[in-house]
Amino acid sequence: MAHDWAAASGRGVVHSWTVCHHPFHMGFKAQSPYVLLTVELDEGVRAMGQLRGLDPARLRLGLRVVVDFEREGDGPVLPIFRPASG
């Protein structure tokens, strides 16, 4: 099957989500509850990231979001998504 690398725009729409209340790992206890978004990127593939900048009660399928990146302390750089403006 032919395949190639392509740069994604980081823009997409909310495909689904969960609000994680019970921390299944101690490392996530302080930030619970947190929202895991499943995002369908405009290029077709999906990506996951935590939600920032929106009350989860306002989430709906198809909401446009854009990626950003966060790093806490010496931890890994992780993708997060915010509502896209305009």
Partner 1 sequence: MSLFEKAAITGIGETAHGRGLQQGSALSLQMQASLAAIADAGLSPRDIDGVVAMATGAAVAEDFITNFGIPDLRFSATTPMGGASCVAAIQAAAAAVSSGICRHVLLPIGRTGYSGTRIGARVHEMPQFRTIGEFELPLGNIAPAQIYAPMARRHMELYGTTSRQFAEIAVTTRRHAILNGNAAMTRELTIEDHQASRMIADPFRLFDCSLESDGGAAVVVSSADAARDLRQPRVLVMGVAEGHPDSPSVITQRPDMLRIGLAKAAPRAFTMAGVTPADIQVAEIYDCFTYVVLRQLEELGFCAHGEGGAFVENGALGLAGRLPVNTHGGLLSQAHLAGMNHIVELVRQLRGQGAAAQVEGATLGLVTGYGDMGDGSVAIMRRA
Nearest residue to 49 via CA among 34, 33, 32: 34
- 61 and 16 in contact (C-beta within 8 Å)? yes
- The H or E element containing residue 29 is none
Whichever of 33 and 53 has its CB closer to partner 1, that residue is: 33
**Distance separating alpha carbons of residues 40 and 43, to the nearest angstrom:** 8
Residues of this chain that interact with partner 1 (CB under 8 A) are 15-22, 24-25, 28, 31, 33-34, 36, 38, 45-50, 56, 60-61, 76, 78-79
Whichever of 20 and 84 has its CB closer to partner 1, that residue is: 20
Closest distance of CB 9 from partner 1, Å: 18
Closest distance of CB 60 from partner 1, Å: 7
Closest distance of CB 19 from partner 1, Å: 4
Whichever of 9 and 45 has its CB closer to partner 1, that residue is: 45
Q: What is the DSSP letter of 25?
A: S
